[in-house]
Amino acid sequence: MTDEERRVGGGRVDKVTVMVIDDQALFRAGVRQALSQLPGFEVMECAPADDTLSRIEAALPNVALLGCRLTAGVGLELGKKIARYFPNTRVIMMSPDPDDEELFEAIKTSAVACVNKSASAEDLVSTIQRACNGEYPINETVMTRPTVARRVLREFGELASMGKALETVVAPLTARETQILNYVAEGNTNKQIASILAISEQTIKNHVSAILRKLNANDRAHAVVLAIRHGWISIEGREA
């Protein structure tokens, strides 16, 4: 769903879909049980080895709750991929007592929050809701860690000095998004594309929203032009 469709009544999210990703089945089941008992939550789970990116592309959850071995880098690398390929899915990292290094690495993945695995259900729910409403609770955590704050200012300040070079970086489209954009380029509506692919119209809307964000496009036509210019979709066989 689009950002506008996610927000209702004073910025609150009407329904929150969460994908719990962890290599410990007991942890996944516990989080799922706790969240599923609350109104407005739909919770799924998977292990990191369960073709996670394909699962996320199919479900397009609002939040990816990621707690798989951050110290080993597995969770951090997966978090980077989720944030890059699925910008509409907010990444929340979970780790047992995350240290300064883990927090800094979580920031680099574009995670919106880093939560202790021993956090209460109330704190976790609050973090998820805030993340869905466009907030970055991780910023508050950084401000309580002076060492991390200084490192963030130093390293991200260097990146900012690159200026427009960073602005030209475009996140790649997934195979499904490329397929959908090809159908858009052919003049199909969301409803028509949904019928062709035998999936819901809402899922098509979710994908289109992700495409627009990735390409920094103003609308569907602009996205098509950008994709053709970069060679991601072909103009062969199409009318000028």
At 187, which CATH number?
1.10.10.10
Pairing of strands 63-66, 16-21: parallel
Cα gap 61→123, rounded to integer Å: 20
pTM of the model: 0.64
- The answer to whether the CB of 20 falls within 8 A of the CB of 31 is yes
Nearest to 132 by CA among 180, 221, 187, 64: 64
Q: To the nearest whole number, what is the mean pLDDT of the chain? A: 79
pLDDT at position 61, please?
Answer: 93
Confidence of residue 128 (pLDDT cuts 50, 70, 90): very high
Asked if the model's pLDDT at residue 11 lies above 70, the reply is: no
- Do 128 and 13 lie in a common domain? yes
Is 93 within 8 Å of 114 (Cβ atoms)? yes
Question: Residue 5: which residues within 8 A CB-CB, separation 6 or more?
Answer: 205
60 plus 89 within the same structural domain: yes
Closest CA to 66 of 36, 103, 98, 111: 111
pLDDT at 7: 37
In three-state secondary structure terms, 176 is: helix
Residue 74 confidence class, pLDDT cut points 50, 70, 90: confident
Q: By residue range, what is the domain housing residue 145? A: 3-160
pLDDT given at position 17: 93
Q: Does 182 lie in the same domain as 127? A: no
Please say if the pLDDT value at position 190 is more than 90: yes
The predicted-structure confidence for 195-236, as pLDDT tens digits, reads as follows 999 999 999 999 998 888 888 888 888 888 888 777 777 765
Same domain, 120 and 26: yes
pLDDT at 89: 92
- How far apart, in Å, are the Cα atoms of 131 and each of 10, 70, 148, 155, 182? 15, 20, 21, 24, 31
92 contacts 111 by C-beta, under 8 angstroms: yes
80 within some domain? yes
The reply to whether 167 falls in a domain is no
pLDDT at site 118: 85
Residue 110 domain flag: yes
Dihedral over Cα of 182, 185, 188, 194: its sign: positive
**Burial (0-12, 13-18, 19+ Cβ within 10 Å), 116:** middle
Asked if residue 235 belongs to a domain, the reply is no
pLDDT classification of 72: cutoffs 50, 70, 90: low
CATH of the domain at 128: 3.40.50.2300
User: Which of 128, 160, 192 is at the close of a domain?
Assistant: 160
- Whether the per-residue pLDDT at 159 is higher than 60: the answer is no
Residues 44 and 101 in one domain: yes
- 16-61: per-residue pLDDT in tens? 999 999 888 898 999 999 898 888 899 999 888 768 899 998 889 9
DSSP 199: S
* Residue 168 confidence (pLDDT): 42
What was the pLDDT predicted at 124?
Answer: 92
Statement to judge: residues 46 and 90 lie in one domain: yes
Can you give the pLDDT at residue 171? 52
> Average pLDDT for residues 88-96, to the nearest whole number?
89
> Is residue 126 located within the same domain as residue 198?
no
Residue reference for tokens 């869905």: 132
User: Which stretches of the chain are assigned E, i.e. beta strand?
Assistant: 7-8, 12-13, 16-21, 41-46, 63-66, 90-95, 113-116
Total domains present in the chain: 2
